[in-house]
Structure 1
């Protein structure tokens, strides 16, 4: 049976519109209330800016035969055991009975690229390593491997595309990082998270602030494309749906 990709491109454009629209609405609301967070924090602390992508993921689950699965995204219901720490809260879990089908992180970065890239990278690597080690040690029973996904929306701007200098006081960085922009760094991160089997699939979506009406976005490479993410996820869901459990 062919996979159903649930018009993911159209859903992604709608998700981008909602992402930028929700951020702006949160900023305006805080200004009007006189409670202004530092920098762009007012746009971030409104939360749920990536719910459009969560809706896309839900539609892929339903379209590929697992409509009865439980999809959790509320705090308290997205907690999984870890190995190096007791628990970790994910952004979204898909459960088929007592089986973990998928755990997905949906993140974003707008501005402050230099301050946040390393934090995002360390968080993504540590989160996946902790879960897979817990899986190896039997934290999820004897089930087959779940799908682990990492979806990242980054502002497409002059600063995220500009060449970045590296400090190299003792040793040279790998040549692919030499002068690489923050978007290029995110692309390399996404590719390597998959190549090193830390995540089943990743997606890097670059979008300008002006996309609030158009939903415009772009991808940087095949391995970190939304198409690869969606296809891999739909295939995993269809496989789970076909099992007689």
Structure 2
């Protein structure tokens, strides 16, 4: 496998910010500006650039384009709910090979959204692994699950956050941790607890959207290149591609 560009998601990050700006402008023109930054959120599709990049890399690795699903036919059965839509699904010869979840978090409201993101990711993982255990995917080998999160790099996401401990102490790594650090810990724990096979965590400053190096990776074990390398390695090995 050829070496990967260390800024493999540069164009995806640029697309992310440009899509948000375009959607916010369209909302304003229609006079439907939502409260706060929701005008750039309710339109959706901000993570399409990431989906397209990952799909292209899968095709470069000899995965048939018809086996890669994004935006349509991405529903997978769950155990606690009928189905869940993933951002990317790879199905080869009737076998579920991989599923990828793409998420983002932009300020100014980091607190409640952090809790929502963690609960959502954990619930999704539990749902699909339980469905797999119960035979929802027939004779498929264990699928590869990936979780990618983009966080806005800004003073609010880097600022230490206090915790309340009225009855019992929190784990020490959470004390004085910023939301950026909390997300890093969360992504790492998702992998260590085997909820997802790999996680990618990047932080991006919207002011650097047009730069070739428009995002940062706070942790090597959550880097984009490692994430993609593990995905491609699994898909090629499971699909029998040489």
Question: Under TM normalisation by the shorter chain, which class is it?
Answer: over 0.9
How far off its partner does 1:162 sit?
A: 0.4
- Find the partner of 1:108 among 96, 104, 112: 104
Please, what TM-score do these two structures have when normalized by structure 2? 0.94
Report the more deviating stretch, 188-197 or 97-106: 97-106
List gaps (5 residues or longer) in structure 2: none
How far off its partner does 1:188 sit?
A: 0.4
- Find the partner of 2:224 among 220, 223, 226: 226
Match of 1:207 in 2: 204
Whole-angstrom CA distance in 2 between matches of 1:8 and 1:133: 35
How far off its partner does 1:9 sit?
A: 2.3
| CA distance 1:6–1:221, change in 2 (3 Å) | closer
Match of 2:30 in 1: 33
Answer whether contact 1:5 1:234 (CA < 8 A) is retained. no
List gaps (5 residues or longer) in structure 1: none
Deviations for 1:99-151, whole angstroms, at most 9, x for unmatched residues?
Answer: 11111110101011012001100100110011011111111012211110111
Q: How many equivalent residue pairs?
A: 240
Match of 1:82 in 2: 78
Whole-angstrom CA distance in 1 between matches of 2:6 and 2:139: 32
Whole-angstrom CA distance in 2 between matches of 1:237 and 1:57: 12
Report the more deviating stretch, 62-71 or 117-126: 62-71
Secondary structure at the aligned position of 2:222 is classed as: coil
Secondary structure at the aligned position of 1:143 is classed as: coil
Please, what TM-score do these two structures have when normalized by structure 1? 0.93
Structural RMSD (CA): 1.6
Match of 2:12 in 1: 15
